[in-house]
């Protein structure tokens, strides 16, 4: 699997593909932010908003927040997460793999320690995003009854956000290495 991902990254880590990916990330952020209003229910998620954007929470907090959503929000969330947010996670994973691969291949081509990290960490982050989406969707589907999704979603969210932080650290380290290499 890693060999396939390495070949994919080597072949596709170009400025053009990275710019397309970054453009798609912006597009998905606009789409996901506006979709409830476009679907006719701008306040479907109440004042709590969607839990995908929360860094840390507990299962009971999630269940309570979903209880404060309108019925339209509980029906809309699985639709939005399955059709748009899961594609968004795949898009940012691929884009970050390509960006990090390009950056590290320019800044540290003689070293190989970074290869598994730049492909595994973005994929792990996206996978945790998917687990979170499916878990929250499960809570929406079973509300008002409690579901295992309420216990899984907080862990997946925490791992997703920490994975995103790890990707940011890799990005900053790669930029720093590239700057040092250019100055030498």
Q: Is the pLDDT of residue 110 over 90?
A: no
Q: Is the pLDDT of residue 173 over 90?
A: yes
pTM: 0.92
**Buried (b) or exposed (e) across 37-57, using 16+ Cβ within 10 A?**
eeeebeebbeebebbbebeeb
**pLDDT of res. 184:** 74
Contact call for residues 59 and 151 (beta carbons, < 8 A): yes
Q: Is the pLDDT of residue 83 over 90?
A: no
What's the CA gap between 89 and 123, in Å, rounded? 9
Q: Which helix (H) or strand (E) is 165 found in, with range?
A: helix 149-183
Could you count the other beta carbons within 10 Å of the beta carbon of residue 1?
8
């Amino acid at each position: 699997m890693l060999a396939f991902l390495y070949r994919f990254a080597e072949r596709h880590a170009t400025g053009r593909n990275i710019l397309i990916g970054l453009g798609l990330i912006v597009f998905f952020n606009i789409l996901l932010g506006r979709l409830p209003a476009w679907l006719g229910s701008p306040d479907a998620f109440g004042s709590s908003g969607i839990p995908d954007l929360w860094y840390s929470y507990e299962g009971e907090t999630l269940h309570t927040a979903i209880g404060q959503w309108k019925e339209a929000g509980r029906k809309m969330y699985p639709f939005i997460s399955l059709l748009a947010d899961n594609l968004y996670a795949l898009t940012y994973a691929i884009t970050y793999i390509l960006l990090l691969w390009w950056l590290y291949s320019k800044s540290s081509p003689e070293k190989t320690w970074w290869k598994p990290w730049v492909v595994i960490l973005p994929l792990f982050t996206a996978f945790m995003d998917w687990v979170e989406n499916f878990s929250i969707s499960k809570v929406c589907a079973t509300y008002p009854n409690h579901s295992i999704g309420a216990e899984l979603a907080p862990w997946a969210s925490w791992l997703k956000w920490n994975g995103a932080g790890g990707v940011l650290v890799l990005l900053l380290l790669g930029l720093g290495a590239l700057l040092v290499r250019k100055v030498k």
